Amino acid sequence: MPARRRGSPERCRNLLILTEGFPTYGGLAGRDLEAIAQGLTEVVDEHYLRYRIRSTEYLAEALDRGGVPIVLPAGGHAVYIDARALLPHVPPLQYPGQSLAVALYEAGGIRSVEIGTVMFGRHPDGRETPAGMDLVRMAIPRRTYTQSHVDYVIEVVLAVASHAAELRGYRITSEPPQLRHFTARFEPVEVPAAVR
C-alpha cells in the first residue's frame, strides 16, 4: 500500500475530527455539542428555571419602580423597555428603540437590541412605516450574570432614563436589502438650534 501523502483526504478528515469534530456534527465541535446537551439538561431543571425567572422579574420590578416603561409581565428570558413611551419626543421614523439601545451601550456597555421600526418598518416595496411598537430587548444570557451584574444593569438603565429627554433620534445612512437590523449604519439626527 502506498504511503499516505501529507494532504491526503484521510489525514484531512482526521485533523478535522481532532479540531472541529466529526463531519456528521454539522460543523459543530464536540465541545459545542456538549454545551448544547448541558444546556438542554439545565433548561428543564426547576431550580435553575426558578432562579432565571426570578432574576428577570427582579430586573423588571426595579425598572418599573424606577418609572421606566416596560412590557409587563416580564418573561423568563428578557425585559422589554418601551422606547416609544420613554422617548416620546423621538418620532418612530427616527428610531427611538435604536436611540435607547445606543445610549445604554454608550453609558454602561449594556448590549440590547431594538425590536421595532428598524427591524420591522421597511416593506418589500421600499416604503417605511412605523412598527406597532418600538421596544428594546435586554435578554439575560443563561448562567452568565450575577446579582451584582443585574444591579449594575438597573443602575445604568435608570441613569439613562433620567436623561431620556436629551436623547436624539437616528437616521439610517446605509442598509442592506434584507435584515437591515443586523448591519445598518446610523447617525444621530441633528436637533435644530431653536429646539436646543
Are 28 and 68 within one domain?
no
Lowest model confidence (mean pLDDT) among 121-125, 132-136, 190-194:
190-194
Helix or strand or coil: residue 70?
A: strand
Are 29 and 123 within one domain?
no
Q: Quick one: cell of 47?
A: 431550580
Q: Where are the alpha helices (DSSP H) in the chain?
A: 9-19, 30-42, 46-65, 83-86, 96-108, 117-120, 147-162, 180-183
Are 67 and 138 within one domain?
yes
Mean pLDDT value across residues 177-189: 89
What pTM was estimated for this model as a whole? 0.79
Domain ranges, residue 14:
9-41
> How many Å apart are CA 88 and CA 16, to the nearest integer?
54
pLDDT in tens, 105-122: 999 999 999 999 999 988
The conformation of residue 166, written as its DSSP 8-state character, comes to G
- The angle, 0 to 180 degrees and rounded to 10, between the axes of the packed helices 96-108 and 147-162 is 120
Domain of 101: which CATH number?
A: 3.90.1150.10
Q: In sequence order, which residues have a C-beta less than 8 Å from that of residue 109 and are 6 or more positions away? A: none
Are 80 and 152 within one domain?
yes
What phi-psi label fits residue 184: left (phi over 0), alpha (psi between -120 and 50 degrees) or beta?
beta
Mean pLDDT value across residues 15-23: 72
In a domain, 194, yes or no: no
